Amino acid sequence: MTTSSTQPVLLWDIFCQVIDNHGDLGVCWRLSCQLVARGQRVRLWVDDASALSWMAPGSCPGVEVKAWTPVLDVQGLSLGDVWVEAFGCEIAPELITAYANVIKDKGQKHVWINLEYLSAQAYVARSHGLASPVMSGPGAGLSKHFFYPGFTPNTGGLLREADLIERQTRFDREAWLSAHGLVRRPGERLVSLFCYEPSALPDLLTQLAQDDTPTRLLVTAGRATNAVQTEIEHKNRLQPLWNAREQLSISYLTYLSQIDFDHLLWTCDLNCVRGEDSLVRALWAGKPFVWHIYPQFDDAHHDKLNAFLDWLHAPESLRQFHLRWNGVNDTPLGSLALPDWAEVTRAARQDLWQQDDLVSQLLGFVASRRV
């Protein structure tokens, strides 16, 4: 049985540790479902699968979710054809111990992938696909291969469903708003907010409240909601008339499934997103967006952010907004130049559509190493 004339059906073991805000799990779930859609079999090992109850309430037939416990019981477990370590996690040593000798002694075809973080930095193209021999431990003698998602043809590409354009074309914005009990005022601009705790959040709220265009801010559940509510409480206490004209309306959303998160991005006129999975979804949405990159203690994310803005050919207004939003500087938050931002986003999306998606590239990469 094959997925095409050249792709055999393989069993993939994908390992995921939920470190922060479910982003890693979100990527691994999309990857798992898209592999299954291509006819593959997937076991998703995760240390905390609780977020799937709202992230993927309909489940995904063909994806077997396995509990990644501190000590993994591999008794009676069949050997997968592909191991995927997602985002720097290390595969359970019990599994490596159980099957390393089978792989080495019997010469069984097997591929070990280290799926890395997304970046537009130059090292990604240099490192993509490189082998990394395992020098110690039960896997000594085997090799991993680095697989880097990216924005250019010499990287691993981005996750993208085969029917994405068709679903976007069919999407009914007003029906989605109505289904979620959201009533938009005439001429009201819609802005989604999915963020950590940006230092420029007070400035954004003030700017939207003072703008001549009325805005409805759609705030995602979790840290974004907590950040907004904390700031509004602060403003109401110190500046009770900050939103006196009521130009800014705020709606707090419940946790959204991955499908509904896409719908949110397709609905809004500006999307404020965070992390990696939502950045990719914002690019596919083709709407103006601002990215809140995951902050690193040594400020390494500053270079990562600038590399992305360079790839995007971001106009100066968008670059400066990003730098302030991410705390790179403390300059005044610039205005929302949405037409200019929309133009570069659509151009980037068009360029990305011409490239093979991540799953297509991953299938080809694995096939080339099982010859």
CA-based R_g, the chain, Å: 22
Packed helices 223-238 and 201-210: angle between N→C axes, nearest 10 degrees: 60
Catalytic hit among 24, 81, 116, 260: 24
Cα angle at 285 between 41 and 189, to 5 degrees?
145
26-30, 89-93, 313-317: lowest mean pLDDT where? 89-93
Active site residue 24: yes
pLDDT in tens, 322-335: 999 999 999 999 99
CATH number of 11-158+356-368: 3.40.50
How do the domains of the chain map onto residue ranges?
Answer: 11-158+356-368, 164-353
Has residue 1 got a pLDDT over 50? Answer: no
Between β-strands 270-274 and 248-252, what pairing exists: parallel, antiparallel or unpaired?
unpaired
Q: What angle do CA 243, 246, 248 make, to 5 degrees?
A: 80
* DSSP E strand boundaries for 262-354: 270-274, 289-292
Please report, as a single letter, which amino acid is at residue 272. Answer: C
- Whether 276 sits among the annotated catalytic residues: the reply is yes
pLDDT value at residue 21: 60
Q: What is the pLDDT of residues 311-322, one digit of tens each?
A: 999 999 999 999
Pull the structure tokens for residue 9.
Answer: 């059906």
pLDDT at 5 over 60: no
pLDDT of residue 6: 62
What pLDDT sits at residue 4? Answer: 45
Question: What crossing angle do the helices spanning 316-325 and 300-312 adopt, rounded to 10°?
Answer: 160
Q: Do domains 11-158+356-368 and 164-353 have the same CATH topology?
A: yes
Spatial separation of the C-alpha atoms in residues 94 and 132, rounded to whole Å: 20
pLDDT digits (tens, 9 = 90+) for 102-132: 888 777 789 999 999 999 999 999 999 999 9
Sign of the C-alpha dihedral computed for residues 149, 263, 189 and 350 taken in this order: positive
Q: Which CATH number fits domain 164-353: 1.10.8, 1.10.3470, 3.40.50, 2.60.40?
A: 3.40.50
Confidence tier at 295 by pLDDT (50, 70, 90): confident
Spell out where the chain has E strands.
11-16, 41-46, 63-67, 82-86, 111-115, 131-133, 143-147, 189-193, 215-219, 248-252, 270-274, 289-292
Which residue out of 85, 276, 277, 357 is catalytically annotated? 276
- Whether the CA torsion 43, 16, 259, 356 is positive or negative: it is negative
pLDDT at 351: 97
Do residues 247 and 216 make contact, with C-beta atoms less than 8 angstroms apart? no
- pLDDT tens-digit map of 167-188: 999 999 999 999 999 999 999 9
Is the pLDDT at 47 greater than 60? The verdict is: yes
What pLDDT, on the 0 to 100 scale, is given for residue 370? 84
**pLDDT score for 101:** 80
Q: Is the pLDDT of residue 3 over 70?
A: no
- Cβ density class 77-101: b for 16+ within 10 Å, e for less: eeebbbbbbbbebebbebbbebbbe
Residues 107 and 3: their CA atoms lie apart, in Å, by 24
